[in-house]
Amino acid sequence: MTREEKVKQLIIKVGEGKITEDMITLDADLNKDLGLDSLAMVELLVMTEDAFGIQASKDDAQAAGTLRLTLAYLDKYLEA
């Protein structure tokens, strides 16, 4: 499974059945388009950290508002 596919699965899990894979485009806004509120975003962050074995800063986590931005911060941590 690619990094992108892995993150998509986590978004679907946090979405509690309200988000399907086809809704998750690279630039869909996780809050405005997919309906993840601030608590769901924290949950997604923790799930992502666990899945990839990283610890993101609060600033990075808050900036990761789309799949593309999430993959960008993962790149930063995993390729550092």
Partner 1 sequence: MCTAAGIIGTGAYLPEGVLTNEELSRRLAVTPEWIFQQTGIAVRRIAPAGLLSSGMAVEAGRQALEQAGTAPEEIGLIIMASSTPDAGGPATAALIQQALHIPQAMCFDLSAGCSGFVYALATACHLVSSGFCAKALVIGADKFSRVVDPDDTATAILFGDGAGAVVVGQVPDGCGLLASDMGCDGSRFEAVWLPGPEGSRPVPAGSTVKPGPFVHMDGYQVFRFSMRVIGESVGRVLDRTGLTMADVDLLIPHQANRRIVEAAARRLNLPMEKVILDMEDCGNTSAASIPIALHHAVERGRIPPGSLFLLAGFGAGLSWGSCLLRWYDPATSC
Instruction: Kindly tell me which of 13 and 68 has the beta carbon lying closer to partner 1.
Output: 13
Q: Closest distance between partner 1 and the C-beta of residue 26, in Å?
A: 24
17: alpha, beta or left? (left if phi > 0; alpha if psi -120 to 50): left
Interface ranges with partner 1 (CB under 8 A)? 13-14, 37, 39, 42-43, 45-47, 50, 58
Q: Closest distance between partner 1 and the C-beta of residue 27, in Å?
A: 25
Instruction: Kindly tell me which of 46 and 78 has the beta carbon lying closer to partner 1.
Output: 46
Instruction: Kindly tell me which of 2 and 17 has the beta carbon lying closer to partner 1.
Output: 17
